[in-house]
Amino acid sequence: MGPLIPQDIINPAWSNAIAVLIGMGFGFILESCGFSSSRKLAGVFYGYDFVVLRVFFTAAVTAAVGIFFFNYMGWLDARMLYINPYYINGAIVGGIVMGLGFITGGYCPGTSYCAAAIGKIDAIVFSVFMMVGILLFSLVYPLIENFYNASSKGPVLIYEALGMSPAVFLAIFVVIALVAFIVTSRIEKKVKKVEY
Amino acid sequence: MKPKDSVKPYFNPYFGGILLGGLLLLTFFLTGRGLGASGAAKSTVVATVDKVAPKYAEENHYLGQFLSDDKHPMNDWLVFEVIGVLAGAFLSGALAGRLTFKVEHSPKITSRRRLIFAAIGGLLFGIGSQLGRGCTSGAALTGMAALSLAGFVTMIFIFGTGYVAAYFFRKNWI
């Protein structure tokens, strides 16, 4: 049955209206979880607040298990879903640069929009400079074009790469998430509270 | 944390995570793709450069690939999604009493220092999200939900680097 829009079950003309509604849900949930506060987000790196890990892992596991279940029930054809292609260089170096951006800036793009929307001036600065960064990237692109496009592995699924069935991988994923929740709760209790 | 009387508490993170996961599943069910964030900033940059220096935008190998004759660069799914994100976050902030213009920072540092680091962080995230073909939302979270290898690797390197570098920037946060 699903995905609905790619199969024209919902007219693609509705696509942008649906995008606004989904975005509203996304922004509402992120802000309500406290993702509009850089000091709350940074807590994950210093052990005083693991809200990022809890929300992020719970969401990823919920959606991954949901997709598996919907596919099993025949409600959603998982083979039709977009799988972001794996470029080894891009994923690793991009991830490192983003990690540095996170620890210095205190936000990621989505959370900076949420914080900007409720009036955080640091988030407005972050968002504006993010666009400057993108412009900068396009300026140096000719120099790094080969590096950027090299090492393409295509849309690889993690359970294929690990040689497992999707069900086994999901089970391991759920266990890792649960262990992370328990361990981080213990760490949080031991780390000195930060007032913000 | 000591919220003011008028400020409502945040969602329980597991409850919030299940809501976010449900929304992500719904997004896949409707559109066949997940959520994103940095893509809208990229579209804004492409559209702005195209307006200011159209010849340069077209000739630039990176920006040029996002330009086409029949579709304006701002006519993009993620741009509409991010308009929704801004509205949704504003609504949540308004209902919870969290709408205030301020620079949020640790009492140990100045607003000026916080803003300089916010600018550096934004700059790096802008560059990194292009290298990684997506950010924490589009590459990491959405990728993990779809069980893509790229999603897991990107997530590990974003947070792994954050932990490795955290020591050097601790003065800004704790």
Q: What is the mean pLDDT of residues A93-102?
A: 98
Residue B69 is classified by DSSP as: T
The pLDDT score that the predictor gives to residue A97 is: 98
Q: What is the mean pLDDT of residues B87-96?
A: 98
The pLDDT score that the predictor gives to residue A192 is: 87
In whole angstroms, how far apart are CA B39 and each of A109, B79, B134, B139?
9, 7, 7, 10
Distance CA A154, CA B146 (A): 14
Assess whether pLDDT exceeds 60 at residue A98: yes
Of B33, B99, B160, the CB nearest to A99: B160
Q: What ipTM did this prediction achieve? A: 0.96
| Residues of B whose CB is below 8 A from A153 | 149
The pLDDT score that the predictor gives to residue A82 is: 97
Per residue in A35-56, pLDDT (tens digit) is 999 999 999 999 999 999 999 9
| Residues of B whose CB is below 8 A from A97 | 124-125, 127-128, 131-132
The pLDDT score that the predictor gives to residue A196 is: 80
Of A20, A44, A110, the CB nearest to B37: A110
- φ/ψ of A166, rounded to 5, equals -60, -35
| Residue A11 distance to chain B (closest CA, Å) | 11
Distance CA A54, CA B13 (A): 6
Asked if B123 lies within 8 A of A92 by C-beta distance, the reply is no
Q: What is the mean pLDDT of residues A7-19?
A: 95
Q: What is the mean pLDDT of residues B24-36?
A: 97
The pLDDT score that the predictor gives to residue B70 is: 87
| Residues of B whose CB is below 8 A from A131 | 41, 44-45, 48, 126
Q: What is the mean pLDDT of residues A103-129?
A: 98
Q: What is the mean pLDDT of residues B106-118?
A: 97
CB B144 within 8 Å of CB A65: no
| Residue A78 distance to chain B (closest CA, Å) | 8
In whole angstroms, how far apart are CA A136 and each of A108, B67, B103, B140?
18, 18, 26, 23
The pLDDT score that the predictor gives to residue A158 is: 98
Distance CA A114, CA A147 (A): 33
Q: pTM score, two decimals?
A: 0.96
Assess whether pLDDT exceeds 60 at residue B2: no
| Residues of B whose CB is below 8 A from A28 | 88-89, 91-92
**Average per-residue pLDDT for chain A:** 96
What number of other Cβ atoms are within 10 A of residue A71's Cβ?
17
Distance CA A142, CA A21 (A): 37
Assess whether pLDDT exceeds 60 at residue B138: yes
Assess whether pLDDT exceeds 80 at residue A190: yes
| Residue A171 distance to chain B (closest CA, Å) | 13
Asked if B123 lies within 8 A of A136 by C-beta distance, the reply is yes
Considering only residues 89 to 148 of chain B, which have any Cβ-Cβ distance to chain A shorter than 8 Å?
Answer: 89-93, 96, 98-106, 114-115, 117-139, 141-148
Assess whether pLDDT exceeds 60 at residue B100: yes
Asked if A101 lies within 8 A of B29 by C-beta distance, the reply is no
The pLDDT score that the predictor gives to residue A132 is: 98
Q: What is the mean pLDDT of residues A155-166?
A: 97
Of A46, A94, A105, the CB nearest to B118: A105
Asked if A138 lies within 8 A of B60 by C-beta distance, the reply is yes
Asked if B62 lies within 8 A of A56 by C-beta distance, the reply is no
At B4, the pLDDT band (50, 70, 90 cuts) reads: low
Asked if A87 lies within 8 A of B136 by C-beta distance, the reply is no
**A12 to chain B: nearest residue by CA?**
B31
Distance CA B140, CA B77 (A): 18
